[in-house]
Amino acid sequence: QKEVEQNSGPLSVPEGAIASLNCTYSDQGSQSFFWYRQYSGKSPELIMFIYSNGDKEDGRFTAQLNKASQYVSLLIRDSQPSDSATYLCAVKIAGGTSYGKLTFGQGTILTVHP
């Protein structure tokens, strides 16, 4: 089982719809969770992070965390064509020598069509 799993997609939604991106992780010691957006040929850009159970909202983005289910999601409201990108879920595991790194999923390709 991969440490961080995402549906690779592609996920296609119409403009104005809600895009829902999901991520599961295997290590119960995972502490912090990050969503990065990566346009083709570009560097990952941090858009959300969350470390407490529940929802965290920032503009059109909402991150949801359920540690009991080892599940984190990203909702994008009012999706725009400019949101079309690969979304990377990343997890930080607490403690030990891994305290300095994030483990990434393989990414979900999102396409928002007009």
Residues forming contacts to other proteins in the complex (CB under 8 A) are 31-32, 34, 36, 42-46, 49, 51, 88, 90, 92, 97-107
Euclidean distance between CA atoms 39 and 30, whole angstroms: 26
CB of 37 to other proteins, least distance (A): 11
Considering beta carbons, is residue 100 or 114 the nearer one to other proteins?
100
DSSP secondary-structure letter at 9?
-
Euclidean distance between CA atoms 50 and 31, whole angstroms: 9
Considering beta carbons, is residue 76 or 93 the nearer one to other proteins?
93
Residues 6+ apart with CB under 8 A from 7: 22, 108
CB of 19 to other proteins, least distance (A): 19
